[in-house]
Amino acid sequence: MYILEKAPAKINLTLDVLYKRPDHYHEVEMIMTTVDLADRLEFFLLKEDRIEVVSENRFVPNDERNLAYRAAMLLKERFQIKIGVKIKIDKQIPVAAGLAGGSSDAAAALRGLNKLWKLGLSLSELATLGSEVGSDVSFCVYDSTALAKGRGENILELPAPPHCWVVLAKPVQGVSTQSVYQSLHLDNLDHPDTQGMIQAIKQSDYQGVCKRLKNVLETVTLPKNPEVELIKAQMKRFGADAVLMSGSGPTVFGLVQQESRADHIYNSLRGFCEEVYVVRLLGSHQTLD
């Protein structure tokens, strides 16, 4: 018996940091949604009591450092599962890119193993468990559009944003999420209009969404990574309606309504950025094709 789960990448439409908490985590407010660039995870039942992770991507660890492994381990321990699983990860999402690839794999593992091991848990129970694996895992469990608060684990689901195309470009130099948060100056931040973005999404107001894209972590990543700033400028020049860095970066995304314009941006960017993708914005759970 085996289960197949898609693990889509996420992008931030907004990312705000409100304050640093006594437990040293940052209190965040972010609106995230999903795009049609996804890892595919296959789960095979093992009679033996072990977890095996297989991936051909050399940047993806295959031991307990892998977030999908950790999600499986958490379920095994919490529900005293005495059988095992082999998890095959077909990696399509760029690693350490600000697209929550690892978190999405962990979320797919929670959904997949809930079925494989017949645990009967609800999405909200899986999301609560996910928050023990990583801050973005709860959002990824729902695989939709949501406002995430707290460390990122308090999820309020939203409708899908208006349909559009998303051009993703990943600069070569990676970014450490931890060091970006450590370098963030909380004074004088220009905060996103989170409530305005929620209204724009609810009203399916594409221009309203474009106008309100904002990520406070750009104040750290952009000055340190000139390539990110350059790609943002080029995307705008080639016709994107709005452009933003996702998460802590370095991936930049641009929104457009026509596929032909997305293709034009893709072709124009390919000259100086190796990793460029044109994908649809998803924003709500998709059935597997």
Provide the minimum distance between the beta carbon of 217 and ligand ATP in the complex, in angstroms, as a whole number.
10
The residue count for binding ligand ATP (CB under 6 A) is 21
Of residues 13, 30, 97, 252, which one binds ligand ATP by CB under 6 A?
Answer: 97
User: Among the candidate windows 13-21, 88-96, 153-161, 204-212, which touches ligand ATP by CB under 6 A?
Assistant: 88-96
Which residue in the list 10, 76, 214, 232 is annotated as catalytic?
A: 10
73 forms part of the interface with ligand ATP (CB under 6 A): no
Of residues 14, 33, 34, 103, which one binds ligand ATP by CB under 6 A?
Answer: 103
Which residue in the list 16, 136, 143, 241 is annotated as catalytic?
A: 136
50 forms part of the interface with ligand ATP (CB under 6 A): no
Q: Which is nearer to ligand ATP, 33 or 66 (CB)?
A: 66
Catalytic status, residue 205:
no
* 118: alpha, beta or left? (left if phi > 0; alpha if psi -120 to 50): left
Q: Which residues contact 90 (CB under 8 A, 6 or more apart)?
A: 39, 40, 41, 42, 55, 56
> E strands, 21-164, where?
26-46, 51-55, 84-90, 145-150, 154-158
Which of 121, 113, 41 minimizes the C-alpha distance to 288?
A: 41
Of residues 35, 75, 99, 213, which one binds ligand ATP by CB under 6 A?
Answer: 99
67 forms part of the interface with ligand ATP (CB under 6 A): yes
Which of 114, 54, 64, 110 minimizes the C-alpha distance to 87?
A: 54
Q: Which residue has the tokens 């933003």?
A: 244
Which of 52, 57, 137 minimizes the C-alpha distance to 90?
A: 57
User: Among the candidate windows 90-98, 142-150, 192-200, 231-239, which touches ligand ATP by CB under 6 A?
Assistant: 90-98
Catalytic status, residue 136:
yes
166 forms part of the interface with ligand ATP (CB under 6 A): no
247 forms part of the interface with ligand ATP (CB under 6 A): yes
Which of 157, 119, 120 minimizes the C-alpha distance to 138?
A: 157
For residues 89 and 54, is the Cβ–Cβ distance under 8 A? Answer: yes
The site for ligand ATP (CB under 6 A) is made up of 60-61, 65-68, 89, 95-103, 105, 136, 177, 247-248
Enumerate the active-site residues.
10, 136
